[in-house]
Amino acid sequence: MAMVAETLEQGVRANGAGEYSLNGRVAVIAGGSGGIGAATARRFAAGGASVVIGYNGNAAKAQELVDSLPNPGAHMAVHLPMEDGAQIDAAARAVADRYGTAHILVNSAGVTKAVPHAQLDDLDDATFDRILATNVRGPFATIRSFAPLLRSGGDSVIINVSSISAATGLGSSIAYCASKAALDTMGKSLARVLGPEIRVISVSPAAVATDFVPGRGREGVERQAASTPLQRVCEPGDVALAIISAVTHLRLTTGSVIEVDGGRHL
């Protein structure tokens, strides 16, 4: 363990300010074909990383994104459904066969359903279970499957895309808020056991201008943004920039939650 830490420290010193270069890195993005995941994929690829686009149901959309990225031939799409542990294992094997290692894992996949918090009877067991399975168990299964590849990278990062709902208890449903709180706590637990080879960081936005929450629309996002100190809508690219920054610059950060919410938590 001491030898690994010394090797990592030597690498940081050799790189001057200690920035984490994306050149030659392999970045796996669960939920990578749209929204925050796709914006993050474009930034990683522009920085020189080979990007693996994990998708659930739309292989064509994932491949279209792969084909649009710079450095053709460096990237790939894999089926990475959050509710299927066996398929997650298969995706990790596919990445190992193609690249032999991995350095960055972004858990951007998630699901929700808009259920008013006071309407307890409308949040049925099946919906609650699906949200927890996708937003909590799925990221854990993905981390479990990819951990050997990330350890082999020797200086790796896991980014869990969370939500300010984890702290405020306000969001599309009580189950969604609970799932993101669980994701943040799980990240702290994993940060303790995966170091020093792997950092674990949650990036926690408020409402983002995507179609993630059915029926919300941009008008709803704009209303939320207007109530924050910065009064700016959070776009997918804003969250992607925070993810990139956490990977490349927050070299001594692990087990932490980085809020990207315009001050909504205040």
Q: Where are the domains of the chain?
A: 23-259
Mean pLDDT of the region 245-259: 96
Catalytic residue among 20, 55, 99, 176: 176
How do residues 34-72 score in pLDDT, each as one tens digit?
999 999 999 999 999 999 999 999 999 999 999 999 999
Q: How confident is the model at residue 5 (pLDDT cuts 50, 70, 90)?
A: very low
Contact present, 262 and 228 (Cβ < 8 Å): yes
Q: Residue 258's pLDDT is what?
A: 96
Which has more pLDDT, 163 or 15?
163
Phi, psi of 78 (to 5 degrees): -135, 150
**23-259, what's its fold?**
Rossmann fold (3.40.50)
Of 84-98, 221-235, 243-257, give the lowest mean pLDDT range: 221-235
Neighbour count for residue 49 (Cβ, 10 Å): 25
Determine what percent of the chain is predicted with pLDDT higher than 70: 92
Q: Residue 215's pLDDT is what?
A: 67
CA dihedral 133, 264, 41, 17 (to 10 degrees): -120
Q: Say whether pLDDT at 131 is over 80.
A: yes
Mean pLDDT of the region 223-238: 84
For the question of residue 20 being annotated catalytic, the response is no
What separation in angstroms does the CA of 130 have from each of 46, 54, 111, 121, 134?
A: 34, 19, 8, 16, 6
Neighbour count for residue 169 (Cβ, 10 Å): 11
Q: Residue 234's pLDDT is what?
A: 81
